Amino acid sequence: MEKRSVMVLTAITAAFLVPAVLSAQDQPKSGMSCPVDHDKLADILKKSVKPGGGPSNGGLDNNEWAAVVNRQGIVCAVAYSGGKVDDQWLGSRAIAAEKANTANAFSLKDKAIATANLYAGAQPGGFLFGAALGNPPSPEALYAGSPDNFGTAQDPMVGKPIGGTIVFGGGLALYDGNGVAGALGVSGDSSCADHNVAWRVRHQLGLDRVPAGVSPNMKDAIIYDIGPDGKSPSGFGHPKCNGKEDQIAVDLGAGVSGNVVR
């Protein structure tokens, strides 16, 4: 009788505990405040890269990854522009999410800072030297779940804080007119091309109401002012890449080329 009583008690306890565990794991993500969902991000990303029928962005014209975080740094959406997951650099999924985290973390309601604006300051002797190592990404969040779901609406990064700090182009804060709504990260090409793609995607999302930035007129534009001596007069410069990215950035209003920050 005593053994049977223990078995009954165990079964009753399990009946109460299992639903509690499931409910904690299966919290609906619908209540999470996000500036954009997966389908919209994927659609606009495809239209913003040459392989998807969009314009050239001056670099290798690769397919790209994009990720969006909300203002709390929680991943909202992860998408890719190709037809299947390995049509773009596999390593860029994590970098896109970390770029989004960085742009969100370094931007304020009244001043945006793109990841491209952090490059010069993060070099030895710069005022942000060491920043890239100061907020390491979470491997558990980056590589959780099945790779079959990477870049889909069920990407296992969604709903998690990812961390990471990236100090080259491709990450932009998202502004909805009321302040920072989160941030976007794009990766999969040269960092200069990633910035151009991100600029196009942000504009198409209607989340580019940037109030100010380190480049006064162009807000959080990429600043190509690093000279032969490796110095950036503005303190927020980014090196040029090997293609036509800088020309396209200037045409888009996404970049400043020269030694004068406009």
Which of 261, 135, 249, 128 minimizes the C-alpha distance to 196? Answer: 249
37: pLDDT strictly greater than 60: yes
Mean pLDDT in residue range 106-123: 97
Domains and CATH numbers, the chain: 32-257 (3.30.450.150)
Cα–Cα distance for residue pair 9/40, rounded to 1 Å = 50
150: pLDDT strictly greater than 70: yes
Residue located via tokens 């053994």: 3
15: pLDDT strictly greater than 60: no
pLDDT of amino acid 258: 76
Strand partners, 111: 108
Cα–Cα distance for residue pair 171/194, rounded to 1 Å = 8
32 pLDDT band, cuts 50/70/90, is confident
Count other Cβ atoms within 10 Å, centred on residue 72. 11
261 pLDDT band, cuts 50/70/90, is very low
220 pLDDT band, cuts 50/70/90, is very high
Which of 117, 64, 65 minimizes the C-alpha distance to 232? Answer: 117
pLDDT digits (tens, 9 = 90+) for 172-212: 999 999 999 999 999 999 999 999 999 999 999 999 999 99
Cα–Cα distance for residue pair 195/206, rounded to 1 Å = 17
166: pLDDT strictly greater than 60: yes
**Using alpha carbons only, what angle is made at residue 200 by residues 232 and 251, rounded to the nearest 5 degrees?**
60
Residue 161 has, within 13 A of its CA and on its CB side, a CA count of 10
With a threshold of 0.75, does the pTM exceed it? yes
10 pLDDT band, cuts 50/70/90, is very low
Cα–Cα distance for residue pair 246/231, rounded to 1 Å = 18
Strand partners, 213: 112
Across the chain, the runs of DSSP E, i.e. the strands, are: 65-70, 75-80, 171-175, 180-187, 222-224, 255-257
Is 245:55 a contact under the CB 8 Å cutoff?
A: no
Residue located via tokens 């913003």: 48
Cα–Cα distance for residue pair 62/189, rounded to 1 Å = 6
29 pLDDT band, cuts 50/70/90, is low
The SS3 of residue 79 is: strand
pLDDT of amino acid 31: 59
Mean pLDDT in residue range 127-139: 92
